């Protein structure tokens, strides 16, 4: 059906084009091919069921719901070609599996105009001078269709003091998705107050022997190892009240970005312990292993954690997400234009920037969030409403979805959506410490007469917490830098960890192999000398 539509659209274009050409608009004939490379399963591919429509008004399409009928890429092409850009665009969409794959592809000569690598890979590409900055008009907030710069969270980009500002990425990269790293876990199978999963050292904890998985990724594994190595220092920094937040942040960032020889060697030892203790280093199996209950906890990116919790809910298993208390790796995936691809073509640049802006259009951001489970960088009202629609308690007693909760927590996401952005969520879905009762039964006008708690700290919760961690989680997070010149040493360290050390080969394996080799040797010898042994006569000479 989709194909027919595209064909029809193409046919329509073909038929219309000569008309325009005759009318003197020769430019419409031109088609720019935009080569986009994105992570696998990182964009809405459409085809939603009718019951999946999100109940939020969509001012951009004029519908009173948001849903993906066609893929975002198709929608972009259709939208772009209906605009007055003077040329048409065709998107050549491809995907990559890891940042390193993308980097290798680029080095082997693949050319893309727009790619979506993670923070450290952006740093690396920037250092190598591969990135083409966005135009000034892209960053101009006065243009209404600049959806990215007008809607991106001030916490991430655009505003002074935003993270992109700190790393001078303004105008270099446009943040697409972001998140934290933590543990998805089954609360029934860990200790009663889940203290064990609130620190990375669960990975080396013998109580969880062969029942936790880690991502098979050198950066995440190295971060976890450093979190274990510097656990005491990090906790001391977090608890220290005599130094400012900035100093704390700088100190945490310094510790978790150490790449000197001793640190790498210490990390190697820790990672070998981790390898001994964990169920596996997983590339993709972690999600299913978690849902099917093969493992108790999984060190995971927040977006995938949300996806896992959703999947588990369908299987009627309740999983939680916890961010380690010492620190967490705050990561970003951002769109960058590549010099090699754009090659000075203004039209390409326009098309690439329009693509990023289209993805940042609030309804599209919501669609992507719904489809892939990750958290968009866009902080528009639609996104906030979507967040509330998903996880917020229905406070309107008249509503048919109204349900009486005993305790409700004010979940504050002001750091991301701007002041006074909070939703009410059921306290059974967050583990709150030190919360204070803010509204009594009688005088609460917000939540239909139920107690409302506020102001506590949250280090674990369910999907809502996975998508937007609380401000104090954000405060203790660290952005992991590119390894730079130490990359080779860290890669070698990782290979050493993943190999089986001669010293680690256990005795039983050696004995089994030795026995088997002996048996084979004996069998061969018996076979060769069978005449002498079995039949007591010399071997026959070869007949001619």
Partner 1 sequence: MTKALKLRFNRRQLCIPYAAFLILFVICPLLVIIYYAFTDGTGQFTFDNLVQFFSNTNTLGTLLNSIAIAAVTTVVCLLIAYPVAYILARSKFKKKYVLLMLFVLPMWINFTLRITALKEILTAIESNIAMYPFLNTVIGMTYDFLPFMILPLYTSLSKLDKSLTEAAEDLGANSFTVFMRVILPLSVPGIISGVTMVLLPSMTNYVVLDMLYNSTYIMGSLIGSYFAAYDWNNGSMISLILLIIIFIITLATNRFNDNGESAGRTIL
Per-residue DSSP letters for 43-96? S------GGG-B-S-BTTTTBSSB--SS-HHHHHHHHHHHSSSSSEEEEEEEEE
CB distance 187 to 318 below 8 Å: yes
Beta bridge partners of 132: 337
Q: Which is nearer to partner 1, 12 or 517 (CB)?
A: 517
Q: Nearest CA to 351 among 26, 42, 88, 38? A: 88
Minimum gap (Å) between residue 223 Cβ and partner 1: 17
CB distance 93 to 38 below 8 Å: yes
Minimum gap (Å) between residue 211 Cβ and partner 1: 7
Minimum gap (Å) between residue 98 Cβ and partner 1: 8
d(CA 67, CA 434): 39
Please report, as residue ranges, which positions from 467 to 526 form the binding site for partner 1 (by CB under 8 A). 487-488, 491, 494-496, 498-505, 509, 512-513, 516-517, 519-520
Q: Which stretch binds partner 1 (CB under 8 A): 10-18, 31-39, 160-168, 276-284?
A: 276-284
Which listed residue (216, 249, 318, 381) binds partner 1 by CB under 8 A?
216
- x-or-dash string of contact with partner 1, 9-48, rule CB under 8 A: ----------------------------------------
Q: Which stretch binds partner 1 (CB under 8 A): 200-208, 249-257, 354-362, 527-535?
A: 527-535
In the chain, the N- to C-terminal Cα span, in Å, equals: 74
Q: Which is nearer to partner 1, 67 or 291 (CB)?
A: 291
Minimum gap (Å) between residue 535 Cβ and partner 1: 8
Q: Which is nearer to partner 1, 5 or 530 (CB)?
A: 530
d(CA 409, CA 424): 6
Helices 72-82, 346-360: axis angle to 10 degrees equals 120
Q: Which is nearer to partner 1, 209 or 441 (CB)?
A: 209
d(CA 457, CA 461): 11
Q: Does 527 bind partner 1 (CB under 8 A)?
A: yes
**DSSP character for 378?**
B
Q: Does 108 bind partner 1 (CB under 8 A)?
A: no
Query: What count of other Cβ atoms lies within 10 Å of the Cβ of residue 309?
Result: 23
CB under 8 A, 24+ apart: contacts of 472-475? 473/180, 473/323, 473/328, 474/155, 474/330, 474/415, 475/245, 475/249
Which listed residue (76, 80, 103, 134) binds partner 1 by CB under 8 A?
103
Among all chains, which residue has been given the structure tokens 């590339």? 283
Q: Which is nearer to partner 1, 215 or 361 (CB)?
A: 215
d(CA 239, CA 236): 5
- x-or-dash string of contact with partner 1, 278-307, rule CB under 8 A: xxxxxx-x--------x-------------
Instruction: Write out the two tokens for 378.
Output: 């866009």
- x-or-dash string of contact with partner 1, 375-414, rule CB under 8 A: ----------------------------------------
d(CA 478, CA 120): 13
Q: Which is nearer to partner 1, 8 or 505 (CB)?
A: 505
d(CA 115, CA 152): 19
Minimum gap (Å) between residue 500 Cβ and partner 1: 4
Q: Does 210 bind partner 1 (CB under 8 A)?
A: yes
Q: Does 211 bind partner 1 (CB under 8 A)?
A: yes
Q: Does 2 bind partner 1 (CB under 8 A)?
A: no
User: H-helix or E-strand containing 361?
Assistant: none
CA distances from 271 to 216, 219, 268, 494 (A): 12, 12, 5, 8
**Phi, psi (deg, nearest 5) at residue 459:** -115, -5
**DSSP character for 502?**
G
d(CA 41, CA 95): 8
CA atoms within 13 A on the CB side of 368: 28
Q: Which is nearer to partner 1, 437 or 520 (CB)?
A: 520
d(CA 234, CA 254): 11
Q: Which is nearer to partner 1, 143 or 517 (CB)?
A: 517
- x-or-dash string of contact with partner 1, 61-100, rule CB under 8 A: -------------------------------------x-x
Q: Which is nearer to partner 1, 143 or 523 (CB)?
A: 523
Query: What count of other Cβ atoms lies within 10 Å of the Cβ of residue 251?
Result: 17
Q: Which is nearer to partner 1, 150 or 217 (CB)?
A: 217
Minimum gap (Å) between residue 314 Cβ and partner 1: 18
Q: Which is nearer to partner 1, 239 or 488 (CB)?
A: 488
Minimum gap (Å) between residue 58 Cβ and partner 1: 40
Per-residue DSSP letters for 306-354? HHHHHHHHHTT---EEE--SS-EEEEEEEEEEEHHHHTT-HHHHHHHHH
**Count of residues that bind partner 1 according to CB under 8 A:** 45
Please report, as residue ranges, which positions from 317 to 376 form the binding site for partner 1 (by CB under 8 A). none
Minimum gap (Å) between residue 340 Cβ and partner 1: 18
Beta bridge partners of 248: none
Q: Which is nearer to partner 1, 39 or 371 (CB)?
A: 39
Minimum gap (Å) between residue 281 Cβ and partner 1: 4
Q: Which is nearer to partner 1, 189 or 250 (CB)?
A: 189
Q: State the residues that interact with partner 1 by CB under 8 A.
A: 98, 100-101, 103-104, 107, 210-211, 216, 275, 278-283, 285, 294, 487-488, 491, 494-496, 498-505, 509, 512-513, 516-517, 519-520, 527, 530, 534, 540, 542-543
């Amino acid at each position: 059906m989709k194909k027919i539509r595209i064909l029809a659209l193409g046919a329509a274009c073909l038929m219309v084009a000569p008309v325009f050409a005759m009318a003197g608009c020769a430019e419409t004939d031109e088609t720019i091919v935009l080569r986009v490379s994105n992570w696998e399963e990182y964009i809405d591919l459409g085809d939603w069921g009718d019951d999946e429509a999100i109940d939020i008004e969509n001012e951009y399409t004029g519908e009173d719901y948001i849903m993906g009928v066609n893929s975002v890429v198709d929608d972009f092409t259709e939208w772009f070609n209906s605009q007055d850009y003077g040329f048409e665009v065709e998107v050549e969409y491809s995907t990559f599996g890891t940042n390193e794959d993308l980097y290798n592809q680029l080095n082997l000569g693949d050319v893309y105009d727009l790619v979506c690598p993670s923070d450290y890979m952006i740093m690396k590409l920037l250092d190598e001078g591969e990135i083409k900055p966005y135009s000034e008009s892209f960053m101009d907030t006065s243009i209404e269709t600049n959806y990215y710069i007008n809607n991106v969270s001030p916490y991430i980009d655009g505003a002074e003091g935003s993270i992109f500002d700190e790393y001078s990425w303004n105008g270099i990269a446009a943040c697409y998705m972001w998140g934290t790293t933590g543990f998805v876990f089954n609360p029934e199978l860990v200790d009663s107050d889940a203290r064990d999963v609130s620190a990375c050292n669960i990975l080396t904890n013998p109580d969880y022997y062969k029942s936790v998985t880690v991502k098979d990724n050198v950066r995440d594994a190295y971060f976890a190892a450093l979190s274990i190595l510097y656990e005491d220092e990090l906790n001391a920094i977090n608890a220290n009240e005599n130094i400012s937040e900035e100093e704390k942040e700088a100190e945490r960032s310094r510790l978790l970005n150490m790449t000197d020889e001793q640190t790498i060697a210490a990390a190697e030892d820790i990672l070998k312990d981790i390898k001994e203790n964990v169920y596996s280093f997983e590339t993709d199996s972690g999600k299913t292993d978690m849902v099917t209950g093969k493992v108790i906890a999984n060190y995971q990116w927040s977006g995938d954690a949300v996806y896992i919790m959703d999947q588990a809910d369908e299987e009627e298993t309740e999983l939680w997400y916890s961010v380690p208390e010492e620190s967490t790796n705050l990561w970003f995936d951002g769109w960058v234009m590549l010099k090699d691809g754009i090659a000075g073509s203004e039209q390409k640049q326009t098309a690439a920037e329009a693509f990023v802006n289209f993805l940042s259009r609030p309804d599209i951001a919501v669609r992507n969030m719904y489809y892939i489970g990750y958290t968009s960088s866009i902080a528009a009202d639609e996104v906030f409403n979507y967040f509330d629609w998903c996880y917020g308690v229905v406070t309107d007693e008249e509503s048919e979805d109204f349900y009486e909760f005993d305790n409700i927590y004010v979940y504050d996401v002001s750091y991301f959506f701007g002041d006074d952005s909070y939703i009410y969520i059921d306290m059974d879905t967050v583990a709150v410490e030190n919360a204070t009762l803010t509204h009594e039964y009688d005088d609460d006008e917000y939540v239909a007469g139920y107690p409302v708690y506020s102001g506590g700290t949250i280090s674990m919760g369910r999907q809502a917490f996975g998508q937007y961690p609380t401000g104090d989680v954000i405060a203790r997070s660290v952005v992991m830098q590119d390894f730079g010149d130490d990359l080779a040493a860290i890669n070698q360290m990782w290979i050493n960890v993943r190999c089986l050390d001669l010293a680690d080969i256990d005795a039983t394996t050696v004995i089994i192999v030795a026995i088997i080799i002996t048996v084979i040797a004996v069998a061969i010898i018996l076979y060769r000398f069978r005449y002498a042994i079995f039949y007591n006569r010399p071997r026959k000479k070869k007949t001619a």
